[in-house]
Amino acid sequence: MTLPQKQAFIGVGTMGSLMAGCLLDAGVDLTVFDVRREAADPLIQRGARWAASAEDAASVCDMLWTSLPGPTQVESVLLGNEGAVLSAMADGAVLVDTTTNDPDVARRVASACAAQNLAMLDAPVSGRPPAMTMMVGGDHAVYEKALPSLEAVAAQIFYVGPAGAGCVAKLATQYMGYTNLIAAIEGMLIARMGGVDPAVLAEIVPVSAGASRAFNAIPNAVLDGSFQAGGTLDIVAKDVALACELARRLEAPSSTGQVADSLYRQAQEAGWGSEGYPIVARILEAMAQTELRSE
């Protein structure tokens, strides 16, 4: 199967711009819209068309992509204004929402799409294109139809079930990664307070039982005090909160996540939301009255 040539992308911020760029690389005739025109300028310079509104973007494509900050924005853009964006889409068109979203919101959007003879896939992503991972929920036949386009932006693509399942999978992985980071910071503080140099322990962890991808943020961003990372604290806090809320609705155990959720919220309340997410270490350092810095 070939890619639908006329596609559109709403939300070309940090992640959306990278995915939209991959579609341009694949030869797609791409229309873009973002609430910030300047975010779209690099894509327009590469040949993308600018749409004056989200509705205009939706009206000129066979496949519409969205990459939005969270559930509130998904509902506002796709279900707000009496569903103007969905109403603008061509009969039989496909919506691919890559937002890290509440699965219930994804299911509501999928139902609204079905009522208008549209198809919808919830396809949140992890990592950065073109090497990123995508988790897809929705009708399997629609997934197969959309697969060539999905493959243009993601290296690892997993079909995980019906509408909302992609969001469930993404929230579960975010829960694991960012609660793991809290445990890793605590472990480093235990070692530091017990007299072990954090820099030395940082060399031991990757070749011990403590090894994890989440741990990498500590030697890369905590020990030097930069706290820089590919995602902000606000993004991570939002994802952990969504995962914990999903766990509460499912009555699934989530005691570890609740602790992590509280710590990320405290870091937000300290005014660090726009900083890299490893800055949450400062909350734990304050509790321990000890800093994790290379000697």
Which residues, at least 6 apart from 242, have a Cβ–Cβ distance to it below 8 Å? 70, 71, 100, 101, 102, 171, 174
Q: What is the pLDDT, as a whole number, of residue 129?
A: 87
Which residues, at least 6 apart from 148, have a Cβ–Cβ distance to it below 8 Å? 1, 2, 3
- Tell whether the model's pLDDT for residue 1 goes beyond 60: no
Q: Which of 240, 244, 264, 266 is nearest to 254 (CA)?
A: 244
- Tell whether the model's pLDDT for residue 119 goes beyond 80: yes
Q: Are 119 and 110 in contact (CB under 8 A)?
A: no
3-state helix, strand, coil in the chain (%, to 5): 55, 15, 30
Q: Copy the structure tokens of residue 93.
A: 């068109």
Provide the terminal-to-terminal Cα distance of the chain, rounded to the nearest Å.
57
Q: What is the pLDDT, as a whole number, of residue 109?
A: 98
**Which has the minimum average pLDDT: 91-100, 125-134, 169-178?**
125-134
Q: Are 273 and 234 in contact (CB under 8 A)?
A: yes
What percent of the chain has a predicted confidence (pLDDT) above 70?
99
Mean pLDDT of the chain: 96
- pLDDT band, residue 82 (cuts 50/70/90): confident
Rounded Cα–Cα distance for residues 103 and 155 (Å): 23
Q: Copy the structure tokens of residue 50.
A: 């600018």
Q: Are 128 and 49 in contact (CB under 8 A)?
A: no
- pLDDT band, residue 31 (cuts 50/70/90): very high
The dihedral over CA atoms of 151, 154, 159, 160, expressed in degrees to the nearest 10, equals -170
- pLDDT band, residue 67 (cuts 50/70/90): very high
Q: What is the pLDDT, as a whole number, of residue 295?
A: 59
The rounded Cα 62 to chain-centroid distance in angstroms is 24
Cross-strand pairs, 134:
125, 157
